[in-house]
Amino acid sequence: MTTSPPEAKLLVVEDEPNIRELLATSLRFAGFEVHVAADGATAIKQANTHQPDLVVLDVMLPDMDGFTVTRKLRDSGRILPIVFVTARDSVEDKVKGLTVGGDDYVTKPFSLEEVVARIRAVLRRTRGENADDAATLRFHDLELDEDSHEVRRGKRAIEVSPTEFKLLRYLMLNPNRVLSKAQILDHVWDYDFRGQSGIVESYISYLRRKVDVEEPALIQTRRGVGYVLRLPQEST
Ligand code: CA
């Protein structure tokens, strides 16, 4: 068995054990090296020991808030990008104000796909790897920009809702691969949507009306199996 080097080293700081485990497991599965901490003091120790490339940081921690942790982490002068995890409340505005310089944030409840996408986008920006191109997903004449959240088909700009955007991104990350409703639900929706596969059908149909206005239709149904982003097969 060969193992490829991790994409980046992450430190996940979260006091809720379930969410911490969920994040750590998913991020490892996505190819990252992951260290964890359950409070701010441990986070600072872990950051010194492991020198992570990015920190996923819950704003509400038992011993200090995420802003204090951020200040302490950056006291050393190191550039350390942060993806904040926050509840959807008044703190969200404070986090927004803080994330202007290349950091980013996700609100709870989040989808794992969203967290991974944010982490990759922040790493790309801070590493400056041909940022423009890396942020664009393409399939046939369809384009999705992960940073600006713009979607185009050919020259036509397509307005999509945040959920439609996440769904389309998931399809575009897996072209020519049939995705089951359960897989889509898991990757695109918050973890409290389990079992509601009807919502996937609805959103696929919203997306079709926007994306597949022109031929060829790219979003295809595999009856009884799921959905796939694929060019129509030529009959042979
Ligand atoms: Ca917390």
How far does residue 128's CA lie from ligand 1's centre (Å)? 31
Q: For residue 60, with 0-12 CB atoms within 10 Å meaning exposed, 13-18 middle and 19 or more buried, which class applies?
A: middle
How far is the centre of ligand 1, averaged over its atoms, from the C-alpha of 29 (Å)? Answer: 23
For 118, the token pair is 């944010």
Backbone φ/ψ region at 211: left (φ over 0), alpha (ψ -120 to 50), beta: alpha
Check residue 191 and give its pLDDT.
64
What is the structure's pLDDT at 3? 58
Average pLDDT per block of 10 residues along the chain, 236 residues long: 74 95 94 96 94 93 89 78 81 62 78 89 74 74 89 95 92 89 84 76 96 95 93 66
pLDDT for residue 232: 87
pTM tops 0.85 = no
Ligand 1 being an ion, which residues bring their Cβ within 5 A of it? 15, 58, 60
User: How far is the centre of ligand 1, averaged over its atoms, from the C-alpha of 102 (Å)?
Assistant: 23
Other CB atoms within a 10 A radius of the CB of residue 99 amount to: 16
Could you tell me the distance, in angstroms and rounded to a whole number, from the CA of residue 70 to the centre of ligand 1?
15
So what's the pLDDT on residue 25? 95
